[in-house]
Structure 1
Amino acid sequence: MPLALPACARWTLALGLALCAGILAAAVVPGWPAQWLGRPLSRADAHHVLPSVAWHGRLMVLSWGLLLPLGMLAARFCKVLPSQAWPDELDRKDWWHAHLWLQGSGMVLMSAGLLLIVGHPGMPDPLAPWHHACGWLLAGCAALQLCSGLLRGSKGGPSSACRCGDHYDMSARRVVFECVHKGIGWSSLPLAMATIAIGLVLADAPRWMPLMLCSWWLTLAVLALALQRAGWCIDTYQAIWGPDPRHPGNRRAPIGWGIARFASQPRSTPAPLTPARRADHEE
């Protein structure tokens, strides 16, 4: 197995979660930290917002701030796991189930959040039109992601009833899907962060909210960097079918950036595989 969880990733996740828990605890335990953290961003005496707007914000933060980014990281970095004897054990679907569940749950929460805000008159603030435009653009991105996933084509491969398939053969349909799905997915992440930040300002949120969100996003960013540097971003095609050059998808470059590809070695070789090349591509 070529992978081992880097110590930096373990420490980053542990410290990041501890920091988020500490901010939340300090915000609810009586004392001066709670008083400071509970004050709105504008330094007003109280935080007032309509219940529908409050729940809209909560659902959108859970969706775009928590579930959807985790689903993206699962799809990028969890295709081959340390417990997996790859390439003898191929096509572990843990990452796929996690990605499907996290993205599906995130889209459900996002849809509920949109329904709560439909018909709301809006706020007399110059930032409000930007928040509305970015929010609906994100909703459109989510819809395109769902449609592209449904239209990704067939799988195929040696273990399928029909060997020919869009993914196994890397057909034009599959290539277009990967370009669209990956491009929209990763480009929507900074847009989501900006939209949430504007929403927090519009709602005059308590200080602990942006502090905890920034801590969480920083944790995910450092974790992603550690996993990327450790070679955890493995080509989807090789994760499913292995590095054998006889598979048609192994004879073309992967689509995206920063993907690790491995050279084909005899299965009896006990030593860990080493990347044949680290293409400037995504999973």
Structure 2
Amino acid sequence: MVMGWGVLLPLGMIVARFFKIVRASDWPATLDRKFWWHAHLTFQIAGIGVMTLGLLLAYGRGEGASELARLHHLVGWTVVLMGWSQVLGGLLRGTKGGPTGTTIRGDHYDMTLRRVVFEYLHKFGGWATLPLVVVTTTIGLVMVDAPRWMPLLIGGWWGGLALAFVLLQRQGCCIDTYQAIWGPEPVHPGNARMPIGWRVTRR
């Protein structure tokens, strides 16, 4: 569970948020570079897979649980359901379309209601889960009386991720997905609406 939600999934989220356009990508001369997408997908699939394995190993071992353990189970199940809802949402996100696709019409290129709903739920749902992860992990460490190096290591890792988030955000690396894929020209319908997400920028 710690490997899934503490390492793999947050890395995938940071890649998707900050690495759609990198200095070596020659944007906007070269559009729709898929490094960030492949990395995001790889981290998220691996993270959900490891999370599910952890769930299977822990399932049915809560007999005679303390109040603290019951809280861990409750918040933990919420995190698991949030994780799998992200997978389901991804499968239902609709078609892509656009000049780089096989057909110009598509949910993402046209920014249909289906795509807009997906983006709000996917982005805000994913980031909103992380505080629950911190709570669940902390309770778990207390429950098993984990060696002191474990919370120090996990806390240091999370602190490093938080610092990277702040630095990348300040550098203006959080670029709108739509613009990263199709460019800034106003001819593209999605550029007529505000980008979705907290402090997402356009160039």
TM-score (norm. length: structure 2)? 0.98
RMSD value over aligned CA atoms?
A: 0.9
Map 1:128-207; keep pairs closer than 5 Å.
128-207=69-148
Per the alignment, residue 98 of structure 1 pairs with: 39
Moved more, 168-177 or 118-127: 118-127
CA distance in 1, matches of 2:63, 2:148: 22
CA distance in 2, matches of 1:193, 1:72: 16
CA distance in 1, matches of 2:149, 2:77: 26
Per the alignment, residue 242 of structure 1 pairs with: 183
CA distance in 2, matches of 1:123, 1:245: 61
Larger Rg: 1
CA distance in 2, matches of 1:222, 1:61: 19
Q: Is the 8 A contact 2:72 2:136 kept in 1?
A: yes
Alpha-carbon displacement from aligned partner over 1:113-172 (angstroms, at most 9, x marks no partner): 001111113464321111000110011101110110000000000121210000000000
Question: Which of 136, 140, 150 is matched with 1:209 structurally?
Answer: 150
Tell me the amino acid that sits aligned with residue 90 of structure 2: G
Per the alignment, residue 18 of structure 2 pairs with: 77
Q: Is the 8 A contact 1:90 1:241 kept in 2?
A: yes
CA distance in 2, matches of 1:123, 1:239: 52
Map 1:14-163; keep pairs closer than 5 Å.
60-122=1-63, 124-163=65-104
Alpha-carbon displacement from aligned partner over 1:29-73 (angstroms, at most 9, x marks no partner): xxxxxxxxxxxxxxxxxxxxxxxxxxxxxxx01001000000000
CA distance in 1, matches of 2:195, 2:98: 17
CA distance in 2, matches of 1:86, 1:124: 55
Tell me the amino acid that sits aligned with residue 233 of structure 1: C
Unaligned runs of 5+ in 1: 1-59, 263-283
Query: Secondary structure of 1:127's match?
Result: helix
Greater fraction helix: 2
Question: Which of 209, 226, 229 is matched with 2:167 structurally?
Answer: 226
Query: Secondary structure of 1:80's match?
Result: coil
CA distance in 2, matches of 1:123, 1:98: 41
Identity %: 55
**Distance of aligned partners of 1:61 and 1:122 in 2 relative to their CA distance in 1, 3 Å threshold:** farther
CA distance in 2, matches of 1:112, 1:145: 17
**Distance of aligned partners of 1:108 and 1:67 in 2 relative to their CA distance in 1, 3 Å threshold:** same
CA distance in 2, matches of 1:227, 1:241: 22
The aligned length equals 203
Task: State the 4+ residue runs in structure 1 displaced beyond 4 angstroms.
Answer: none
TM-score (norm. length: structure 1)? 0.71
Q: Is the 8 A contact 1:148 1:181 kept in 2?
A: yes
Q: Is the 8 A contact 1:122 1:128 kept in 2?
A: no
- Offset of 1:256 from its aligned partner? 1.0
